[in-house]
Structure 1
Amino acid sequence: MKEIVLFGEYLLRLTPPGNKKITQAENLEMHWAGSEANIAVSLATFKKSTRYITSLPSNSVGQAGIEQLHRYGVPTTIIEKEKGRQGLYYYESGVGARPGKVTYDREYSSFSMLEERDVNWDKIFNKAEWFHWSGITPALNENLAKICLEALKAAKEKGLLISADFNFRSTLWQYGKQSSEIMPKLLEYCDVILADVDAAKLYFNIHPDENNLVESTCSLLKEKLPNVKYIAMTMRYQNNASNEYVGYLWNNGAVVSSTTYKIDNIAERIGAGDAFMAGLIYGLHEQQPLQQVIEFATACGVMKHYITGDMNIASKEEIETIIQQKGSGRIIR
């Protein structure tokens, strides 16, 4: 089977237990994380052939991360660097009006020290049919932006389908380049994108109709990215005390939308976008009708809100149950 290849930094997340702030905590819980790794785990759980490309230190911490991926059936290609450490981030869970807070500690990580030609893309893509990346990687440093471009050119030459998540992280763009200087030329190679309104405005300086945000944003993005075939978005709406969550998928000038779900009693908001992206890739890879694609992707995002940690480890059957029950959460006996 041809592989879905994903490229990005594999991170170790440290979180205070019991919704504590870091200044209160006496110990930290450990979770493995990273946008592309999260997607790879979901796709492998859905029985898709995947390969995750990253760089890790050659020590017991890096080995523990690899073993976690292998536990979920994700093959890896690890580019080892003589120097470099494990990338970290710290996460304080949000509670009520207190928002969640991410603090990155990624400088001098093995992944951040990758250079052009460290990855043999030609060899990797010989067994691939799909390549996925996200806006997090080129945000880290200029070398990684160049590596993304190198990968995208190789993937396009091989005829792979290419997908990307906009994934704008304001605290990461610190190396003297603006995201609007880098992201548009990388996104030009993509067939499938997961966008959001704010990042779209920032990357492309577009001004969508505020009364028709989804459709107008997609139309303006298509003008900027003529090669894109599918544009997906998720939206959250505040309705009294509940959050409402819905997915949208644009193709060929038309938008289909998913069932709207009420999201209450959230266990973990981190990783919901990655879960949605995995569902989107799965549905499009299966060549499902677009309504079925967006229903499955959205249900993946919904499910992730109720799973602790960054990875959506729910099975395809569990996602389909959410769709059938329309999010009611009835007990299966």
Structure 2
Amino acid sequence: MKEIVLFGEYLLRLTPPGNKKIMQAENLEMHWAGSEANIAVSLATFKKSTRYITSLPKNDIAEAGIAQLHRYGVPTTIIEKEKGRQGIYYYESGIGARSGKVTYDREYSSFSLLEENDIDWDEIFNDAEWFHWSGITPALNENLAKICLKALKIAKEKGITISADFNFRSTLWQYGKQSHEIMPELLEYCNVVLADVDAAKLYFNIKPEENNLVESTCSLLKEKLPNTKYIAMTMRYQQNSSNEYVGYLWYDNAIVASSKYKIDNIAERIGAGDAFMAGLIYGLQEKQPLHEVIEFATACGVMKHFVTGDMNIASKEEIELIMQQKGSGRIIR
């Protein structure tokens, strides 16, 4: 079976327990994270053949992280670095009106020290049919932007399907280049993108119609990205204390929308986009009808709201149950 290859930084997440703020915490819970790693775990759980490419230092902490990936059946290609450290981020969980807060501590990580010739993309792509990356990686430094471009060129030459998540992070992009200077060129190689309105405006300087955000954003993006075949988006609508969550998939000048899900009592919002992306890749690779693709992807995103940690470890059967029950959460007996 051909592989889905994913490339990105693998991070250790440290979180105060019990919705505490870091200033209150006497200990921190460990979780493993990273957008592409999260997607790889979901796809492996769906029985898809994956390979995760990253760089880590040679130490016990990194070994623990690799073991977590292997636990979920994700094969890895690790570029080990003698120098550098494990990238970390701290997360204060949001609750009620209090927003969640991310603090990155990833400077001088092994991944950030990768150089253009450290990865043999020709060899890695020999067994690949799909390549996924996100806007987080080229945001870290110019070398990683160049590595992404090299990978994309080789993937395109080999006829590999390429997907990306726009994933703009406002606290990154600190190396003298702005996102709109880098991302458009990289996204031109993509067949499938997961976009969001704000990042689309920033990357491409587009002005969608406020009363028709999804359709107009997708149409304007298609003009900027002629090679892109599928554009996906999720929208979260606030209704009093509840969230309404909907997925959209644009193809051939038409949009397919998912069912609407009401989301209350959220356990964790982190990773919902990655869960959605995994469902999208799964459905498209399985060549499902587009209405089934967007229903499955959206149900993956819904499920992640009720799974603690960054990774959506729900099985395909659990996702399908959400679709059948329309998110009611009835007990299985």
Distance in 1 between the 2:241 and 2:266 partners? Answer: 13
Residue of structure 1 in register with 2:161 after alignment: 161
Distance in 2 between the 1:64 and 1:253 partners? Answer: 46
* Structure 1 residue 240 displacement after superposition: 2.4
Structure 1's unaligned 5+ residue stretches are none
Distance in 1 between the 2:114 and 2:219 partners? Answer: 36
Residue of structure 2 in register with 1:282 after alignment: 282
Q: Is residue 42 from structure 1 mapped to residue 38 from structure 2 by the alignment?
A: no
Residue of structure 2 in register with 1:101 after alignment: 101
**1:85-164 equivalence runs, <5 A:** 85-164=85-164
Aligned length: 333
Distance in 1 between the 2:10 and 2:227 partners? Answer: 29
Residue of structure 1 in register with 2:181 after alignment: 181
Structure 2's unaligned 5+ residue stretches are none
Residue of structure 2 in register with 1:249 after alignment: 249
* Structure 1 residue 241 displacement after superposition: 2.1
- Which string of whole-angstrom CA distances, capped at 9 and with x for unpartnered residues, describes residues 214-266 of structure 1? 00000000000000000000000011221100000000000000000001000
Letter paired with 2:286: E
- Which string of whole-angstrom CA distances, capped at 9 and with x for unpartnered residues, describes residues 25-66 of structure 1? 000000000000000000000000000000011110111011
Between 234-243 and 15-24, the greater mean CA deviation after superposition: 234-243
- Which string of whole-angstrom CA distances, capped at 9 and with x for unpartnered residues, describes residues 98-156 of structure 1? 10000000000000000001000000000000000000000000000000000000100
Amino-acid identity (%): 87
* Structure 1 residue 8 displacement after superposition: 0.1
Question: SS at 1:212's partner residue?
Answer: helix
- Which string of whole-angstrom CA distances, capped at 9 and with x for unpartnered residues, describes residues 58-94 of structure 1? 1101110110000000000000111010000000000
Distance in 2 between the 1:240 and 1:224 partners? Answer: 36
Distance in 2 between the 1:318 and 1:51 partners? Answer: 23
Residue of structure 1 in register with 2:56 after alignment: 56
Distance in 2 between the 1:239 and 1:65 partners? Answer: 38
Letter paired with 1:315: S
Q: Is residue 321 from structure 1 mapped to residue 311 from structure 2 by the alignment?
A: no
- Which string of whole-angstrom CA distances, capped at 9 and with x for unpartnered residues, describes residues 159-181 of structure 1? 00000000000101100000000
Distance in 1 between the 2:143 and 2:242 partners? Answer: 43
Aligned-residue CA RMSD (Å)? 0.4
Question: SS at 1:320's partner residue?
Answer: helix
Provide TM-score, normalisation by structure 2: 1.00
Distance in 1 between the 2:117 and 2:42 partners? Answer: 29
- Which string of whole-angstrom CA distances, capped at 9 and with x for unpartnered residues, describes residues 266-311 of structure 1? 0000000000000000000000000000000000000000000000
Distance in 2 between the 1:92 and 1:276 partners? Answer: 23
Distance in 1 between the 2:19 and 2:126 partners? Answer: 45
Letter paired with 1:276: F
Residue of structure 2 in register with 1:263 after alignment: 263
Distance in 2 between the 1:238 and 1:324 partners? Answer: 24
Distance in 1 between the 2:36 and 2:58 partners? Answer: 21
Residue of structure 2 in register with 1:80 after alignment: 80
Residue of structure 2 in register with 1:33 after alignment: 33
Letter paired with 1:41: V
Letter paired with 2:301: G
Distance in 1 between the 2:154 and 2:60 partners? Answer: 33
Regions of 4+ moved over 6 Å: none
Distance in 1 between the 2:113 and 2:201 partners? Answer: 30
Distance in 2 between the 1:170 and 1:251 partners? Answer: 29
Residue of structure 2 in register with 1:301 after alignment: 301
Residue of structure 2 in register with 1:69 after alignment: 69
Distance in 2 between the 1:241 and 1:40 partners? Answer: 32
Between 160-169 and 238-247, the greater mean CA deviation after superposition: 238-247
Distance in 1 between the 2:117 and 2:230 partners? Answer: 30
Distance in 2 between the 1:307 and 1:23 partners? Answer: 25
Provide TM-score, normalisation by structure 1: 1.00
Distance in 2 between the 1:269 and 1:259 partners? Answer: 19
